[in-house]
Amino acid sequence: MGQILPSPKHFEQLEPLISEETVREQSVCGDDVDEHVAALTAFDEAGFDRIYVNQIGPDQRGFFDFYRTKVLPQLQQAGR
């Protein structure tokens, strides 16, 4: 996206065209553990050796606690 939209002004121009639903369709949002595990598993099965996840919002601690206690243990059980 950075190459296509090189400045913040370009992102601002697209903002009216992007809805929350559009974002949800393109990325995993929320606290459904199975959705997170499925998305990460798909990347693993596609051959990615590094996967970066991030929290966009105010509750950073909650995000990391969620991954530490819910998502990562399921991935470890699956041998990922």
> CA–CA separation, 2 vs 11, rounded Å?
9
Question: In the chain, count of helices (H) and strands (E)?
Answer: 5, 0
For tokens 């693993």, what's the residue?
44
SS3 state at 47: coil
**Cα Rg for the chain, rounded, in angstroms?**
15
> Going residue by residue through the chain (80 aa), what tens digit of pLDDT does each one get?
446 888 889 889 988 988 888 888 888 988 999 999 999 999 999 999 999 998 878 999 999 999 999 999 999 987 77
User: How far is CA 64 from its chain centroid?
Assistant: 13
